[in-house]
Each structure stands twice: as structure tokens, then as C-alpha cells.
Amino acid sequence: MSSSTKTKLKAARDALGKKCYEEARDAAFQVLDYEPNNYNAHVFLGLAFLELGQHDKSEQYYRKAIELKTDQILGWQASDCISQLYERSSRWDALSEALQHMMQMFATTGDAIKCAETLQKLVSTRRDHGTRQQVVSALYYLLPDSPLYATLSTLPSPDPTNPTSTSTFDTQTAIHNSLPVIEEIISISERDEEAVIKNEFDKRRTRLGGPSPDQLKRDIGVEVWGASKLPSIYQEVLNHPSTSDDLRRSTEAKLIRYKQQYFYALPTTSSEKDTLGLELDELINGVVIIGVPMTFPAGYGLDYLRQYMRLLPATPLARLLKGYFLYTGTPIFEEDEGENDDEHAKITPEDKDSFDTIMDTFGSLSDSILASRIVTEVYLQELDYTSVINIAESGLELVRRHEKDTGRKICQVRKAFQVGLATALVHLYPPKHHARALRLLDDVLNLDPNNVDALIGRGYILQHARKWEEAEVLFAKAVSLVPVGAEKSVRAKEESAWCLSRSRVEHGVQELKDVLNDLEAEFRHEAFSHFINSLKSDRTYAPSYTSLGIYYSEFADPPDPNRASKCFQKAFELDPREADAARRLAEGFADEREWDLVEVVARRTIDGEGGLDAGIQTGDGVVVGRYLPTNAWAWKAVGVVELTRRNYAPSIDAFQVALRADPEDQLLWLRLGEAYSKAGRHAAALRALARAHDLEARRLDVHRQTSRLVEAFCSFESILEVRPKEIGVLMSLAQTQLDLARQERFSGFSARAEQSFLAAITTCHTMSQESSGYGGVAWKVAADSLFGLSKTTAFVDEDNVREVLSRTNSLLRGHASTRIARAFSPTSATDEVPLTGRHALEAAVAAYDYRITVSSTEDIAMGSALFDLGIALYAWSTEDKSSGHQLASETATSLLKQALQKEPGNASYWNALGSMYFMDKPKAAQHAYVKALEHDTKILDPDYTLAWVGQALVATANGDDSDARTLFEHAVSLTADVVSGGRDNEELLPAFFVLNRYVKRCPRDPCALHLLGLLCERLGQIEQGAEWISRAITLLEAVYEETEDPLVERQFTIAHANLARLRVGLCDHAGALESFETALGLLAVESPDDDSETKVLRVQTLFGSGLAHFKLGDLQSAMTTFQSALDCSGEDQLLRGHVTVLLAQAMWAIGTDEFKESAKAVLLDCISTDPENLMAINTLAGMGILTEDDNLIQSLPIERRQELDPGRDVTYLLVQHHLSQSDVEQATRIAQKALHIEPSNLQLRPSDLPTTQAMLEIHSLEENITEAKETLDLAAIAGKGKEALRCAQKSVMLDPGRLQSWRTLAYVRAREAS
């Protein structure tokens, strides 16, 4: 180095000391002009530029200085300078990189103190400004695997008493005890991985076509856990000499859980899964060997379970195991396990009811396979087969999930659940679930041919099918596999003997005797003695009572029907499944015409066989299918009882169910026709009666016992066996399957219909593959089948439906046209998404669209194809609530218009177009309906009611109320069946029947439920009406909580007001008061601007509240509320008049003279205000009759009587008044005058004996023999003494063959005798 260079360097150093950074910069540049690689000049330039704020240039010259002296001490100084630069400019990553470089240099030179100080600064920087992963990376330098550990380990041990004596205390502490560092790394890494998984899940879950949420979490977990260092760090803790026992146990649990979740997440195809599984097995076995408490049992052996209970006695699983051991009588611990176990084995008061202990703890262990196995066995012991089915199905799902997670088959556990499930299915309302049970049992026996429970279960199924020899073989095999004397051995031997007795009586009887000998019972040979001894052994065994009753009724000498009836009653009380006893009991009651008892027996028998749902429903209470009834006689009996009570709707339902079991019962069809006729359903009645007539004629023809569709189906199948590719046969078969599916769905057999629809689609697939010339026909049938399938809300065989839809979509993929491309966007049906009818509907739309592409271009065929596509697309648009809903609806309408262009004379197309226009374009809808009327010969038929009803509805929508009324009146006048709105209850029955069916199909329609409740009120079924309206209120409340719609609020208020009125009728006055107050609270504060509906509601609610108070004895509150109702009625004369009359009636009912006079005054005041208020006048006159006040009676109007008194109440009151005065002649004259004015209006009141007698006396008996007989019957019932007997005898003489006359005579004689 020259002297001039040294001078310039000195000048630069001095300038830096004086903070003259520009002079220092210039002097350093002059040095570099002569010596470009001068280290000091680069350092001075870096410092000068740093102080001048030019950080980029400062970094440039510092880095150059480091490169010049990398392996020398001067390089460290430059690194220290550049770290200051990074720290000052907040470049923390660059600072960390520089510090790491410095640590490497210090470690290379062996300077442990400098290395430790730099590491402490790095850790501090990462803690303050780095991510969690960066902090972990910095802390890793303190572990034995670090490249710095050899240098840092030379530091002396720390002095805890004087931590400030050295600048590297933290590093010394960590180096000499790395456990706290490892624990910190674990804590940070766990939080970091959890955050990474959550963030990745949130990022990926919205991707289209992505996996299910559970699978997505597994995929992310595999990515994170596969690259994680946590398992090795856990191992460091386990190997560390300073680790405590508690820490080691918790870390072992963490390690097992971590590897377990990674093991479950790995796909079964991964080679790493097997290795990881073996590692897990070793870890768990090691834990078990040393007896460390874990939160899961290592196995199902008794030793493992006892060890688990001993180590973790307070866990739910341990309590469940303890309860199960007590339930089965198994010792909780072995006697030689020592005295320390006495505390755990001690029976607490809570453990005395072991069954309750098991059930209580199982609620928190529903995901445990072991707990599910235990509870399944317990329910089997308790014979609770419904619960067994639920738990076993859940257990099989847990097994499937476990096998998917672990990749290991647990065949024995699966087999145990299958056996339990099959056993329950065998015994739950047999034989309704035998088909499903048989499939399970066959699977079990294929794996384990000697499974005793499976053999016994299959034997029961064969036994119920009356395959005695096959069943006997299975029971005998089960006997040979079970130790002699065991319960299963005795049961199997007994069933084997019974089956043997059905084919070989002597051998069977001998075997049964051997069974009795095995049970060590001393029985005599006679059947009677065996039955008696059986009952002595078990007095609750119902079949013994049934058998004894049969013995008394059929084999005793002489027969003893009284004892037989008692035996049947006892058997039926013990077990409603004793169908034979129930049937005989019901027949006896029917002979005695005890219809109430017949109904009780029949309904309990139906409950015993599980009803229509066979005892199996889904979680929301929906029936999973329909089953054939086992005891059709019970349904028939219920139908007959309901028919005699004139409850036609329940009678029809019962007959229909009975016909499922025996569709060829001619008498049943006859009864059904009778019920249809009396319910007003004349068309259905004619069909049922015609069916009964056909069956009567077909009894001689045994070759036509099946329906035509089934026969056709079998014929086509037989042809296809010979010629499987015959297109014509395939076409006919597909159409037959479609028709059969529609018939089955119409009949209510949804599961069968689903299978038939799928079969039709599969046949169409075969047709499309075999020949391309019939594509239009094939896809027409396939699309119709898919459209029919779309009306199903939940599929029975979802896997099969998914497979068929997948195949259909694959065939249609790539064939979408431009007709509906903009309006129709189907959703993808993945395996994780449950299938609904919407997926089938989307496939139907695509199939209809493809049908147009491949079908004929003829106008008729093209019109039909466009019509089908339009209807399907419109149905899809009504379910789609997205922004494309309107576009899809418009496209459907356009397609229908195109269809009409192809075939303008098709009335169905016009009718469908009118329905599409109905809501939005009523004028266009009316035009379409008129066009339909012009083209449809059926609609041109004046008896075709629906066309007139549709036109009336359109007129109503257009506001033409007068025209609508005329159209409705015309529709009602037609001969076809139309629901009438008459006052007679008989005329309301059809409306009730239709509305009841609708509510069953749409149970969540509050309007229908409300209307059905009001209809029940009109029919006198007040309790049932209150139940329907209560359900409507519940639904309306839920809807209002979501929408807060004022219209829903008003409906809710009206429903409460109606419910309160019904509760008054049911004498539930407290409940009525509560509902009235609820309705009143929902009404706005009274205002002059209230509409008429609000005013009527307020008045009704107030008066109803007063009436409820009155019935509850609170007279003061009642009268206050009545007065409020009167005030609210305002100037509305009609409303005020009604309230006034009701108030007067309530005051009169109090009974005191003061209130009676007040009631009269209220009515007189009302009449003075409204002189034509006939109801008030009649009420006042009635009070006059009761108090013999002629002045009040004279207030009855004589003028305008026909107009003001349509009910002819005035005539009735006048007749009553004169009869009370013993003036029968005047009463007769008034009645004769009324009859002269209106001969057809003969209103007799059966409860009013004098009036009835008077009016019967003036009726001419000579004019008509039929009327004479009926009048004589009425006169006999209304009269007394010899005169009544004379009328009854005369009626019998007029027509000795008339049953009603004899009944009247019997009634009169019985009345006189009593």
C-alpha cells in the first residue's frame, strides 16, 4: 500500500469521525481509483453511504468488502456493519441472513461466545419480526442436530444465581438443557400446522368439482403431515433425559394421535400406509405392556378391557364396560388381581341399574365401534329389535369408515353387526323384513358356515315360509354346534322338533318330548296338561294361552267358548302379535255386534304387526316404504267398523290396505265400493263395484289371476331369453315397464315404482346400443321414466339410481343442443352429494332435448318432442330459484309455442300453455284455455267439469267475479263429481277426503292444515280440528321467524283465534283464553282506520276471551271483555247485533234475575237501533216464552217474514209458545200455515216432542205408502205409551219385510219395558 493511499484512508477515517460523510466518501473513492480491491475503502464507503441514507449503495460496498475478506477477521467486521444497515432499514429477512452468515464464520473460527451472541440476536429478530416457521428454524440451531452445536457446546454451564455475568446466558441454558427449546418448537409447530390446514381448507373448499369437505381435509392433512418434523421432535422429547413421566405420557399420546390421523388420511393405495400402521401398532403395544393410561382400549379381549377400566375408571367407555360386565354377570376383575382393584370393582348405587348405566354412557360414545357392539348385544337381550336395527346399522357404518381409514378389514366385527342386524330383522314384525335379513344371513354364512346365530335366523325365515324340511336341517346343525344345555341349544332343538312335527308328526312329537325332558319338566302326554304346565313355568308366555284357547274351543268335549275367550283375551293382552287369538277374539265380538271391542282388537293387532311402516322410519319420522299387511282381517274389520260409524275416509283407507294383501277378495271390493259411494266418490265407487263383479265372474278362470302388465312383462322376458336383441320386444318391454312404474306409483308402492322406472331406463339404454334406428322412441321412454323418477323426494336404492343416472349422463354427454343451452345449466351429482328428484329431472330435460335431435322431423312427432321438453324444462324452472329461473320459464313457453305450431289442434298443448301463463299472464291463459275448449272433444262435452272450473279460476284472477260465479255455478250443476259446499255434513265429506289426502302428501302446508281443521269443525270433529290448526300454527310460527311477513302474521293471528274457538268447544277454557290473548296481542292497537277483517278479528277475540272468563267463573273479567267487544264493533250494525245477542245470552246464562233483566234491556236497546235484527228479536222472544212475558213475544215480526227469517225460526218460536200455553190447536194452525206457504220445508225437530207430535198428526198417511211408513216410524219414536206402540205395529203391517219397521217396534217395546 503506498503512502498516498494510507493518507487518503486516514483522511476518510477522520472525516467519518467528524461526521463529514461526503468528504469520507470522496476520500474513499480516491483510494479505489488506485486500489480497486482495497478492503478499508469499501468499508468506509459502505459506512458513508449508510449515514447519507443511500442504503443500496451502502449494501453494495459492504458486500464487496465481505467478498474481499471472507475468511479473515475483517470480513466479520463488514458483516457486522451490513447487519446494522439491514436493522436500520427494517430489512429483517436480509438481517437474519447476515446473522446466519456471521454465525457460520464464528463457528468456523471456534468463537463460541460471538456465535452464541449472534444466535441470540437471530432468535430475538425472528421472534419480533418473523413467522412461526422462521422462529422454529432459528430455534433449531440450539438442538444437537445443528451445525453450530459443536461450537456452542464448548460454552460453560450457566450460573442461575448470576445470569447477568455473561452475555450468552440464554444460549448456555438452552445448550445444556434443550428440553424447553424442544417444547417451544412443538408448540409453535402445532399451531402453525393447524393454521396452514385451516387456511388451505378455506382456500380450496369453494373450488368447483372439488372433493367433499372431509376428503379435502384428508388431502391437505397428507400434504402437511407428510412433510412435518413433529414426529421426530416428539421422539426427541421421549428420548430426552430430563423428560418427566407426565410429559413422556402426554407426548406419547400426541405422537400416537399424530401418526394415527396421518395414517387415516393416507389413501389405501399408498405404500407408506402399511409402514405407518406397523409403527402405530408398535407404539400402542408398548404403551399397553407398561400399563400407561390411554383414552382408547388396545383390543377387545377381557384382559385389555379390564386393564382399561383399571387405568381410566372415570371415562365414559370404562363406565359402559363396567355396566356391561354387571349386566352379563361377568366379574369386573379377576380374583387374583390383588386388593388394589377392590376400589374399582366396588358397585356404586349408580351401577345397580346396569342397563341405564349402559344407555346413559352410550350417548357420548356413538362413534365407538366397541360401544355400538355392546349396545347391540344388550338390545338383543332386551328384545328391542327396532333399536338393534338402528344401532347395528350405525355400527356397520362405523366399521366401513374404520376400514376406509385404516385399510384393514375387521371381518369379525362386521360379521357380528350383520348377525345382530339380521336377527332383529328376522323377529321384527315377521315376515316383513325377511328378504333383507336373508341377504345378510347369506353373506354371514358364506364367510362362516357354522355361525349358530345365522343358522338359527335363517331357520326362522324358512320356518315362516313353511319350508319345514330345510328349516329343520339348519336348526339341527345349530344344535350340533352348541354345547348341550345351553340356551341356544334348547331353543334350536325345540324349533327343529317343531319343524319335524310339521312333516313327520310322530318323530316331531318325540323330539318335542325330548326337549321337555331336557328342561327337566314332568309333563303328561295330553296336550291340555302340556299347556297348563307351560303356563305354570311362565305365566306371561302368550302362545300358551292361545293354544289353550284353541283347545277349549275346538278339542274340548264339550267345547267351552267362555274359557276359550278368556284365554284369547289373556294371550292378546300379553302380546298383540298373537294374531290367531286376536282374530278369534274379534270374530266373537263381531258375532255379538260389539263393534267398539272389534275395533280395539283390530287396531291393536295392526300395531302389533308394525302398521304400514313395519316399525322402521327415518330420523325426521318419514316412513321408508310400504309393506303388505300380515293380518288383512284386522284392516278389514277396521274398515267395517268405520263404515258403520259413517267415517268413510278411514274406512276407505283400511279397505285399501286390506286389498294389498288380498287383491282378489270380492267382498272387500264390494265394501270399498259402498264406502266410496257414501263418501260421494261415485266414479271410484263404480270402478270398485265393477271390479267386484269381475272377480265374481273370474272365479272360474284360474289362469287370469295376475294383472295384464305383469303378464305382458313376463311374456316379453321369456321372448328376450331366446332373442335378447329383438328391438321390437325391447321397445314393448320398456313401455310396459314404464306403464307398470306409473301404475305402482299411483298405487303408492314407491319402491317398486322406482325399480320399474330404472328397469325401463336400462332397457332403453340397451335399445340405443343395439339399434340407432329407434333412438327417438328409446329416448322418449327413457325421458318419461326419468321424469317420473324425478317426482320422488327420496330414493330407496340410491346407489342403483346413481348408477343409472351416471350412465344416462355419460350417453348424453356432448349431445347438448343450442335450444336450451342458455336457460338450462344442470348441476353435477357427485358421490358425496345426496341424490334428489332434481337430479333425475335434469337428466330428463337432457334426454328430452336429445330425443329431438335423433327423432323424426314429422310435425306430430316433433310437436310431441317439443311439448315434452317444454314441460320438463318448466318443471325444472319452478324448482330453480336462481337468477336463471325466468329465462328457463320463458324458454319452456317458447318450446310449447313451437309445439303448437307443429300441431295446433292438440288441446293438451293449449291447456299446458294456459297453465304456464296462469300466474303472470291471465289474459293469455284465458285465451289458451278457450282454444283448448275449442279443440278437445272431451272439453266440448258439457259434462267435462274441469274446463269450466279452469275458466272460472282465470275469470277470478282477472277480477271478473260475476263471470266466475256463473261458471262455478255451471260446474256445480254438472253431473260429474264436484265437491259441494252445502250445509249437510254428508256433502262436506268429499271435501274432507280430498283435503285429508292432500295434507298427507304435503304435511307442511299451513293453509291446508288450517282449512282441514275448519272442515273438521264443521263435521263435528272438534278435537281433530284443533290438532290440525295447532300444527298449522307451529308451521306459521316457523315461517314468520324466517320471513317476518305481515301476511303470515295475520294468518297466524286468525289461526290462533280459530284454535281458541275450538278449545272453547272442547271445554279447554284456560287454553282458549291463552290463544285468544295471543291473537289479541298480535292485533294492532285499535284505530279508526282498521279494516273490516281486523275489526271482526278483534271483536271475535274479545268476545271469545269474555266467554272463556265466563266459563272459568271470572264474571267480572267476562263482563268487562264483553263490553270491550261491544265497543269495538262500532257502527257496524251486523257485527254489533251479533255481539249484543251473544252478550245477552251470556248474561241470561248467569241465572240471576238482575242479569236476566239486563239481558232483556240489552236486546231491547239493540232492537230499537236495528228493528230488523231478527236474531235479537228471536232471542228476546225466547226469553219472553221462558218468563211467560207476552209483550216480548209480540215483538216477533209478521211482515217480511220470508225475507228476514230464512231459517223459519219465527214459526218455531210461535209453535213453542202456544204449546207451552197448552194451545195445541193454535200451534197446529201455525205449522199448517207454514207448510202451506212452503210445502217442501218440513223442519221437524226430534228433540222437541210436542211439536213433532203435532206436525206428525197433520201429515196425511194416505197420500203415499213410503212416506206413511217413514212417518209412522217417526211418530212411534216421538210418541209415548199405547199410541207409539200402535204406530210402530201399523208400520210393520204396511211392509212386513222392511227391517227399519221391526227395529222401530223393538225400540218402542224396549223403551216401554224400561
pLDDT tens, residue by residue, 1298-1309:
888 888 888 888
- With contact defined as beta carbons under 8 Å apart, do 1156 and 1147 qualify? yes
Residue with grid cell 268447544, as numbered in its chain: 1065
961, pLDDT greater than 70:
yes
Q: Report, as an integer, the average pLDDT of 1004-1020.
A: 86
pLDDT tens per residue across span 25-39: 777 777 777 777 777
Which amino acid appears at position 443 of this protein?
A: D
With contact defined as beta carbons under 8 Å apart, do 471 and 499 qualify? yes
Residue 81 is predicted with a pLDDT of 61
Instruction: 645-654: list long-range contacts, CB under 8 Å, 24+ apart.
Output: 645/595, 646/678, 648/675, 648/676, 648/678, 648/679, 648/989, 648/993, 649/679, 649/989, 649/992, 649/993, 649/996, 651/675, 652/676, 652/679, 652/993
> Which amino acid is it at 851?
R
- Residue 261: pLDDT band by 50, 70, 90 thresholds? confident
pLDDT, residue 1199, reads 52
Reported in sequence order, the residue ranges of 396-548 that DSSP labels E, i.e. its strands, are: none
Higher-pLDDT residue of 880, 582: 582
SS3 143: coil
Give 617's strand partners. 623
pLDDT beyond 60 at 1090: yes
Within a 10 A sphere around the Cβ of 539, how many other Cβ atoms?
11
Q: How far apart are alpha carbons 288 and 297 in whole angstroms?
A: 9
For residue 1256, give the amino acid letter: L
Residue 1270 C-alpha cell reads as 217413514
pLDDT of residue 69: 65
Is the distance from CB of 58 to CB of 47 less than 8 angstroms? yes
- pLDDT at position 944, please? 61
Question: If you search the block for the grid coordinates 308394525, which residue do you land on?
Answer: 610
pLDDT tens digits for range 738-749: 888 888 877 767
Distance between CA 1144 and CA 549 in Å, rounded? 63
10 Å Cβ neighbour count for 679? Answer: 22
The pLDDT of 982-1000, averaged and rounded, is 67
To 5 degrees, how large is the angle CA 1019–CA 1023–CA 1024? Answer: 70
The cell 356413538 sits on which residue?
366
pLDDT of residue 521: 41
The Cα 289–Cα 1090 span in angstroms is 83
The listed range with the strongest mean pLDDT (366-375, 515-524, 591-600, 1147-1156) is 366-375
Judged by DSSP in three states, 701 sits in coil
Would you say residue 77 has pLDDT above 70?
no
Cβ neighbourhood burial of 511 (10 Å; 0-12, 13-18, 19+): buried
Range scoring the smallest mean pLDDT among 79-83, 999-1003, 1149-1153: 79-83
Q: Within 10 Å of residue 1121's Cβ, how many Cβ atoms? A: 24
Euclidean distance between CA atoms 1218 and 121, whole angstroms: 119
**Rounded Cα gap, residues 486 and 115, in angstroms:** 80
Mutual angle of helices 985-1001 and 648-661, in 10-degree steps: 50
- Is the omega angle on the peptide bond into residue 211 within 30 degrees of 0, that is, cis? no
Range scoring the smallest mean pLDDT among 435-449, 521-535, 680-694, 1130-1144: 521-535
For 780-834, how does the pLDDT look when each residue is reduced to its tens digit (9 = 90+)?
Answer: 888 898 888 888 766 878 888 888 888 888 888 777 777 777 777 777 666 667 7
What would you report as the CA-atom Rg of the chain, rounded to the nearest whole angstrom?
Answer: 46
pLDDT at 1159 over 80: no
Q: Tell me: pLDDT of 6 over 80.
A: no
Q: What is the pLDDT of residue 1109?
A: 82
Query: Residue 1082: its pLDDT value, please?
Result: 82
Residue 1086 pLDDT more than 50?
yes
Residue 317 pLDDT greater than 50, yes or no: yes
Residues 406-431 pLDDT 10s: 777 888 888 888 888 888 888 888 87
| Separation CA 785–CA 762 (nearest Å) | 10
pLDDT tier at 1236, thresholds 50, 70, 90: low
Q: Output the CA angle 970-975-978, nearest 5 degrees.
A: 70
Confidence band for 982, pLDDT divided at 50, 70 and 90: very low
The cell for 1018 is 264443521
What integer is the mean pLDDT of 1105-1124? 81
Q: What is the pLDDT of residue 55?
A: 67
Q: Quick one: 85 exposed, middle or buried, by C-beta within 10 A (0-12, 13-18, 19+)?
A: buried
DSSP, residue by residue, 925-967: HHHHHHHHHHH-HHHHSTT-HHHHHHHHHHHHHTT-HHHHHHH
Segment holding 452, helix H or strand E: helix 452-464
| φ, ψ dihedrals at 623, nearest 5° | -70, 130
Q: What's the confidence (pLDDT) of residue 679?
A: 82
Cell numbers at 1215, concatenated: 209453535
Q: Percent of the chain scored above 90 by pLDDT? A: 0
pLDDT (0 to 100) of residue 269: 73
Q: Is the peptide bond before 1197 cis (omega within 30 degrees of 0)?
A: no
pLDDT for 844-870, tens place per residue?
Answer: 888 888 888 877 666 567 888 888 888
- For the chain, the farthest-separated pair of C-alpha atoms sits apart, in whole angstroms, at 163
Angle, nearest 10°, between helix axes 837-854 and 798-812? 30
C-alpha to C-alpha distance for 325 and 321, rounded to whole angstroms: 6
Residue 993 near residue 652 (C-beta atoms within 8 A): yes
Contact criterion met (CB below 8 Å) for 1128 and 1083? no
Question: Poorest-confidence range of 197-206, 789-798, 995-1004?
Answer: 995-1004
Q: What is the chain's mean pLDDT, rounded?
A: 75
pLDDT of 1066 strictly over 60? yes
pLDDT tens digit sequence for 662-675: 787 878 888 888 88
* pLDDT of residue 1197 exceeding 60: no
Alpha carbon 122 to chain centroid, angstroms? 61
Interatomic CA distance for residues 338 and 360, integer angstroms: 30
851: CB partners within 8 A, 6+ apart? 775, 776, 779, 780, 783, 865, 868, 869
Range with lowest mean pLDDT among 375-384, 457-466, 822-831:
822-831
Question: Looking at 149-158, 242-251, 610-619, 1117-1126, which range is the least confident one?
Answer: 610-619
Cell of 748: 303408492
